[in-house]
Amino acid sequence: MTLEQPGEPARALADSWVHRSARGIEYGVEQPSGKPESALAALFGALATTWRLRKTLWVLVLKEFKSRYRAQALGLAWSFAYPLIMMATVSLAFTHILKIRIPNFVVFYLIAAIFWQWFSNGTLAATGSFVENASLVKRTSFPRYLLPVAAVLANGINFLLEWVLVFGFYFVFPTAYRFNVTILALVPLSFLELMILVGVGLSTSALNVRYRDVYYIVTSVLTFGFWLSPLLYSTEMAPPTLRALLRLNPLAGVMEGARDVVMAGRWPRLENLLPAVATATVVFLIGCAVFRRQNLQLSDYV
C-alpha cells in the first residue's frame, strides 16, 4: 500500500491509499475491502484518464514520431519511399513475371499495404515501448499504458500521410477508383485497426518487459502474418474451405473493406466486416486484461 505509485491512474493521486493485488487495484480508504475495481470499471476509468491526459498523450506521440526521423537526411520522405518501392517490386513480380491478372493491381496492393504497414510498424514500436523508455517508467508517475498507445498513434500519422499516395494515383489509374459517400467508411475501418493495434500493443509491450524474446517472436509472427493477410490477393481468390479461416484475421476485413470503398464505391461487405469486428473486440479486451495483470510488475523487470 503506497501513495502516488508510478503508473497508477491520475485519479488515484487524489485518494489516500492505493491497494494493489493480483485481483486488481482498489483506491480510497486505509483498510481494503477485498473488492477491487472490476475489469469493466477499470477500462472505462482508463478511457476517462486518457481523455484527461490527452495533451500528455500528444506530447508522447510527437516524441515518438520525431525520434523516428532524427538524423535522417530524407526525414519524412521515407514514409512515402518504402511503400512506393514495395509497390513497384511486388507489381513487377506479380503482373509481369508471374502473370497474375488482378485489375489495377498497383492500387489494389497499395490500399492493403498501408494498413499492413501501420499494423507491422505500430506493433513493433508498441512492443518495445517500455524497454526503450525504461527511465520514464521508473522515475515518473503517469499511466503506463500511454506509452504503447502513443507508439501506435505515432505510426498512425504515417498511415494518414500514406493515403496521399493512394489518392495521388487517381491521376495515373483513374479507372481504379469509384468515389462516393462510401468513402466515409474509411474512418470506422481505421478505428477498427486502431482497436486491434492497441490490444496487441498492450499485451506484447507488457510481456516484452518480462520476457525479452517476445519482440523476436512478434517479428516472426509478422512475417507469417504478411502472407495470411490479403495484400497480394483477395479472400475470394482463396479456396472456399480457407475463406472462413482467412476472414478470422481482422486485418482481412479491414483491407477488403477499404478496397470495396475506394475501388468499388460500395460499403464494406458484412461477410468480411463482421468477423473482423468480432475478432478485433476480442483482441482488444485480451490486450487490456494482459496489461492489467502485468502492469503491477513492470517496474520490477524494466
Render pLDDT for 33-75 as a digit per residue (tens, 0 to 9).
555 566 677 778 788 888 888 898 999 998 888 887 765 556 6
SS3 content of the chain, % helix, strand, coil (to 5): 75, 5, 25
Question: In the prediction, which pLDDT does 35 show?
Answer: 59
Give the pTM: 0.83
Decide if 162 contacts 83 (C-beta within 8 A): yes
The DSSP H or E segment spanning 160 is helix 146-168
Angle separating helix axes 250-259 and 240-247, nearest 10 degrees: 100
Give me the residue label for grid cell 506479380.
94
The DSSP H or E segment spanning 250 is helix 250-259
Local structure of 35: helix, strand or coil: coil
The angle subtended at Cα 86 by Cα 276 and Cα 202, nearest 5°, is 40
Decide if 255 contacts 276 (C-beta within 8 A): no
Question: In the prediction, which pLDDT does 13 show?
Answer: 44
Q: Cell digits for 36?
A: 477491487
The DSSP H or E segment spanning 27 is strand 24-28
Question: In the prediction, which pLDDT does 46 show?
Answer: 82
Question: In the prediction, which pLDDT does 23 show?
Answer: 54
Those residues of the chain that have pLDDT short of 50 are 1-15
